[in-house]
Each structure stands twice: as C-alpha cells, then as structure tokens.
Amino acid sequence: MAAVSNLTQRVAVAVVFGPLLLALLWIGGIPFLGALCAVVGVGTWEFYRMQEKKGLQPWTWFGVAASLFWCICAYLSDGYVQLLLAGLLLWLLMTSLGRSEHRVADVGGTLLGTLYVGFLGSYALRVRNFSGVEMSENGAAAVAVLILLGIWASDTAAYFSGRWFGRRHPFPNLSPGKTDAGFVGAVGGAVAVMMWGTRQFALLPIWEGAGLGLLVGLGAPAGDLVESMIKRDAGVKDASGVIPGHGGVLDRFDSFLFVYPLAYLYLFLLKAI
C-alpha cells in the first residue's frame, strides 16, 4: 500500500506541476524568473543541508542569495557574471579567516553549492532568451520547452528500457538502479523527441535537432549521477522531502541543471559557425 500511495503522490505532483512549469517556461519573463528562483533557492538550501550532514558549516543563506543572484544576472545581462564570481570568492575567503576549523572545506562547499545549483540553473533562462540561431518566431522559447520535454522523455525511456532490458550496472556504487540499457534508452528517447519537435515546429534543421537531442540524452543521466554522488557523499537517500513522492528539488531537477548549460553551449556554437 505504501508503494501505491507513493506512486499516486508522484503522479499527482507531475500532473499539476509539469504543465505549470512548461507554461512558465513558454511565457518567460518575470513569471519564469520567479519559478526558477524558487527551484534554485530550495535546491541550494538542500545542497547545503547535505553538506551539514558531513559536519561542514557552509554559509547557507549567503549561498542561497548568491544562487538567486546568478538567475537575476542571467535575466538582466551577462555582464555581471564575472563581477559576481570574483566578489563571491573574495568574500568567502575573507570571512573564512574567523572560523576555527574546516575553513577551506566550508568555503569550497559554499562556492560549489551556488555554482552547481545557481550558476548551472541560470542557463535555463539563457536558453529561453537565446538569440542568434535561425529559428522561427518564439523559437528560443519553443526550444527551451522542447528541451524540458526531452529531459522527461529521456528519464521515462531510461526507466522502461532499463527495467526491460537492463543487465549491466555501470555505476553500482553511485546509482545501482542505472543500467547500460537505461543509458541507451535515455539517449534514444531524447533524440527522438528533439528530432521530431525541431522538425515539426521548424525550430532547427533536423540534424541540428538530433545533435541537441544527443546532448539532452547524455546530459540528463549525467546530471542524475552527479546528484547521486553528492547524496552518497552526504549519506542521505533524498535531498529533502519538500516534493511529496519525489524527494527534494534536486532529486527532480538534477538533469535540468546539466542539460540547459549543454544546450546553451550547443546553440552558442551553432551561432558562431
């Protein structure tokens, strides 16, 4: 009964918040910035909570604020990024001088949290507002939405292909449930969705869409593995329990944090060619 209840919660949350997230990503502007800040803020807090499980003392609220500022910088302009990073690092190093122990580890944990969640998460905004590649009107918004659908397709295909055909577990110490067939399914599902979507809505040439799908299919399981590594390192099963049936924000958005930076780099290179 507990498993059924957990599945019901997962489905209910997905049905409510999945379309909402897609809608906000399409709308963009302040509504999506607010949603992204909520995800990034809670995700950064979860990261620091896991660091505390290891006996560290990260600057939690400062790190959360810095993560939110990454998103605001991405929304306003790219010009603040280097200034923010320099100020963040200098402030952390100077304030660490007053601590009695774990000074360097606390600085490293705080900086990693805001870079991993805030900086990487801000790339969803950069993709959503991207310009420069030949696309139809509202093309960047459509590509950003399609990438999210590709992430979900990758996760779903990985689950079923791994369950039906998976035999070998390439990362048993990080994520015992991941199989070689699951990784193949993840790539195949993402490529199929991205090729279909970019072709159907005239967003990118079909082979460029396939290349984007390949990055989505590789980035999604990589992001999941990295978050599993962080949880294993902290000795926890879930990042938190804020999402019923799903665990924490990082448990649901780990792929999101990896895929959008890869997608932005890919679109940037297409623009440069």
Distance CA 246, CA 143 (A): 26
Structure tokens at 103: 């000074």
Distance CA 114, CA 120 (A): 9
Distance CA 236, CA 146 (A): 32
Structure tokens at 269: 């290179």
Query: What does R_g of the chain's alpha carbons equal in angstroms?
Result: 19
Residue 35: its pLDDT value, please? 95
Confidence of residue 3 (pLDDT cuts 50, 70, 90): very low
Confidence of residue 116 (pLDDT cuts 50, 70, 90): very high
Asked whether residue 30 carries a pLDDT value surpassing 90, the answer given is yes
Distance CA 153, CA 189 (A): 5
pTM above 0.85, yes or no: yes
Helices 29-53 + 206-234 axis angle, to 10? 30
Tell me the sheet residues that pair with 247.
243
Distance CA 148, CA 157 (A): 14
Helices 139-165 + 206-234 axis angle, to 10? 60
Structure tokens at 98: 């007053």
Asked whether residue 246 carries a pLDDT value surpassing 60, the answer given is yes
DSSP 231: H
Residue 1: its pLDDT value, please? 45
Q: For 96-131, where are the alpha helices, taking DSSP H only?
A: 103-113, 120-121, 123-128
| Phi, psi torsion values for 243, nearest 5 degrees | -110, 110
Tell me the sheet residues that pair with 243.
247
Residue 171: its pLDDT value, please? 72
Residue 151: its pLDDT value, please? 94
Distance separating the N- and C-terminal Cα atoms of the chain: 55
- The domain spans of the chain are 1-28+133-273, 30-128
32-75 pLDDT, tens digit each: 999 999 999 999 999 999 999 988 889 899 999 999 989 998 88
149-185 pLDDT, tens digit each: 999 999 888 888 877 876 777 776 777 777 788 888 8
